[in-house]
Structure 1
Amino acid sequence: NLSVLEAFQDLKDKLHLPFFMEIIILGSWAIWISRNNKIFEHINPSFQGWKHIFLEELKLLKFRMKNKLLPQYSVWLDSIL
């Protein structure tokens, strides 16, 4: 069994991206928004709903990304869209 820290480290090693933590944070944020949508908007959560929120947040992150990371981030983002 992997601990949570080991799982994060494994994912970090596989992604090998300097903006790894931003991806994790935005994935968690998308879960939180999905939860709030269930509670306050009565929208049932789904993987597709989470994915839509996650991708929209990733697109917005592009505007906050450091200039030196922007080319790599743009290539990565385009590869998952």
Structure 2
Amino acid sequence: MHLPSYDCVLYPNNHVESLLHLFFDCPFARSWWQNIGIAIHSTTSVEFTVEICKEDIQLPFAIEVVILSCWSIWTVRNNHFFNGLTPSLASCKENFKTEFALLIYRTKASYSPLINNWFDSVVDLL
């Protein structure tokens, strides 16, 4: 069975919307990663790129940062696709901040100072 392919919703310039493109290669996604201090280099697979991001972050909650970043990008994409909202880094940031604040409530007490410091420093960048 062949699934249909779609152009990227966030950057419609004949880019096929794949997981790799949407979350890491798309200029919108690259801007997001850059804003939180992670440089996305040439990507070959989602798995490899996630591992590189985790190495760049070098924190015990790195995978949570990656997952919530992808979720924020996905939310912006869906809001554009289904609700006609203009994609913006500001809306991505607000979603990330909301989701990350909820994550802070679920963290181990020993991680609290580290995670709060990281979050405060990133929010200043955003």
Q: TM-score, normalised by structure 1?
A: 0.80
Match of 2:66 among 11, 24, 47: 24
CA apart distance, 1:14? 2.0
> What amino acid is the match of 1:57?
E
4+ runs deviating over 6 angstroms: none
TM-score, scaled to structure 2: 0.56
CA spacing shift, 1:33–1:2, aligned 2, 3 Å? closer
In structure 1, list runs of 5 or more residues that go unmatched. Answer: none
The alpha carbon displacement at 1:24 in A equals 0.8
Q: CA deviation at 1:11?
A: 2.1
Residue 40 of structure 1 corresponds to 82
- Let me know the Cα RMSD of the aligned residues: 1.8
Establish whether residue 69 from structure 1 lines up as the match of residue 72 from structure 2. no
Q: Identity rate of aligned residues, in percent?
A: 33
User: Which one scores higher on RCO, CA 8 angstroms, separation ≥ 6?
Assistant: 1
Structure 2 unaligned residues grouped into runs of 5+: 1-41
Distance 2:43 2:96 in 1: 25
